[in-house]
Amino acid sequence: MEKQISRYRWVVFATVLFAYFLIVSQRTAPGLITDQLMNDFSLTASTIGLLTSIQFLAYAGLQVPIGILSDRYGPNLFLVVGTLLNGLGTLIYSLAQNEFVLFLARLLVGAGDAAIWVNLVIILSQWFKVREFVGLLGFAAVSGSFGFLLATVPFSAWIALSGWRAPFLTTGILLCLCGILLYYVLVRKPKLLFRHDAAGTGIQKKKKEKTLVILRRMFTQRQAWATFFCHFGVVGTYVGFIGSWAVPFGMHVYGMTRSDASQLIMIGLFGAIIGAPLTSWISSRLDSIKRPYLVVHLFVFSSWVAFLLFSGKPPYFMLVIIFLVMGYGNGASSLTFAVVRKSFDIKEVGVVSGFANTGGFLSAVLLPIIFGKVLDHFQLASSTIGYLYGFIIPVMFSLIGLIGCFLIKEQRHEAKQPSEAIV
């Protein structure tokens, strides 16, 4: 495949990762202003939880449809449209004057975000050979971790300096410009450079299976459900918590400033940055995905349990370790897609990746809502006892992830045609 040996593939790689970096920052940046939104719009904790969750609900609900459509029609335009929707939603969020507009904005952001990861995976598989793809997928995960990192101390300092609207407005403009850049890099330029390569659509001239046949086969396979549960337990709990209640938790329970509380999230993100490449390296050295991933899930589960053992307020040094471990687990979750790549036919990787990703963001939908309900039950979002009972939720969710990891069946085979694009 000509474009898999071209230098231009690195332009594609850099552009796609920059877009992913910006988009991921907007998954959790609203968590920095939870208390401000409650004050400015007179919102309850339950409403804040729903506001966070609606973004992840759109993301989770669209994962499988996006996977199917991208497999059939190519990922490029979906990635462009997703980036533009994300930018538009962020712009509207920055200008919102009531809670209805806030909900609409987060819904648009979630719909745009839904088109990013699955299409990123497909695009990288089209432009890079399998041997390169596996390593670059880890770099993509690291890029996402840096996006989360942006939405901690740097974004918090910006909010403290200028208020919360200006940072979101600026980011929205950047995302819209990035969508235009992606269109040029992924659609226009390849038409000139690779005239005989189907314009980068990734559509293979093969008879396509019916969608219902693909879905029926996927839903009846233990391996698909194992990846769904793994992501449900290790990704959604982390993303859902830091995207809604992590900063208020640090401020109310430990008396931290907003900047200090956001540093806890930053510690977790350092763990995530380490987790993706280190766990992938360990996995390759052991020639096993399940064993290192199982250890990761055990540590993540134990970290959430620690909140219950210390009545919702562990010693600060332990809190740092907990956030580091949970972040590491989020980074190591790239192994979920390594399981998918090794376990399924290459023409099904897109839809199964979408299904696995649905698991992670389904729990990210549920956790903020239920957590907010628990806090409302105890009257105040600053109640330590409310947070204590709230932590039962991520403990249960991470247990589901651990069970999913036990269900994984090791696969040793590779795709028969490693240079073939995912279609």
- At 7-16, the pLDDT tens digits run 888 999 999 9
Q: Is the pLDDT of residue 91 over 90?
A: yes
Q: How far apart are the first and last CA of the chain?
A: 14
> What pLDDT score was predicted for residue 420?
34
Cα(117)–Cα(127) distance, rounded to whole angstroms? 15
Q: Is the pLDDT of residue 200 over 70?
A: no
CB atoms within 10 A of CB 307: 22
CB 423 within 8 A of CB 206: yes
Mean pLDDT of 251-263: 83
The token pair that represents 162 in the structure block:
């200028």
Q: Which domains does the chain have, with CATH numbers?
A: 2-196+211-407 (1.20.1250.20)
**pLDDT tens per residue across span 45-55:** 778 778 877 88
- The proportion of the chain whose per-residue pLDDT surpasses 70, expressed as a percent, equals 90
Cα(55)–Cα(92) distance, rounded to whole angstroms? 14
The token pair that represents 351 in the structure block:
């839809």
Q: Is the pLDDT of residue 396 over 90?
A: yes
Positive or negative, the CA dihedral 154, 268, 104, 352 is: positive
Nearest to 194 by CA among 417, 12, 422, 348: 12
Pick the more confident residue, 129 or 227: 227
Average pLDDT, the chain: 83
> What pLDDT score was predicted for residue 182?
94
108-111-112 Cα angle (round to 5) = 85
Q: Is the pLDDT of residue 167 over 70?
A: yes
Query: CB under 8 Å to 242, separation ≥6 — which residues?
Result: 28, 31, 148, 265, 268
Q: Is the pLDDT of residue 378 over 80?
A: no
CB 109 within 8 A of CB 89: yes
> What pLDDT score was predicted for residue 174?
95
Mean pLDDT of 137-155: 80
Cα(10)–Cα(136) distance, rounded to whole angstroms? 11
Cα(102)–Cα(94) distance, rounded to whole angstroms? 9
- The proportion of the chain whose per-residue pLDDT surpasses 90, expressed as a percent, equals 29
> What pLDDT score was predicted for residue 228?
94
Q: Is the pLDDT of residue 283 over 70?
A: yes
CB 63 within 8 A of CB 146: no
CB 286 within 8 A of CB 292: yes
Structure confidence at residue 369 as a pLDDT band (50, 70, 90) = confident
**pLDDT tens per residue across span 202-240:** 444 455 667 778 788 888 889 999 999 999 999 888 888
Cα(306)–Cα(314) distance, rounded to whole angstroms? 7
Name the pTM for this structure: 0.72
The token pair that represents 75 in the structure block:
């990922």
Cα(239)–Cα(243) distance, rounded to whole angstroms? 6
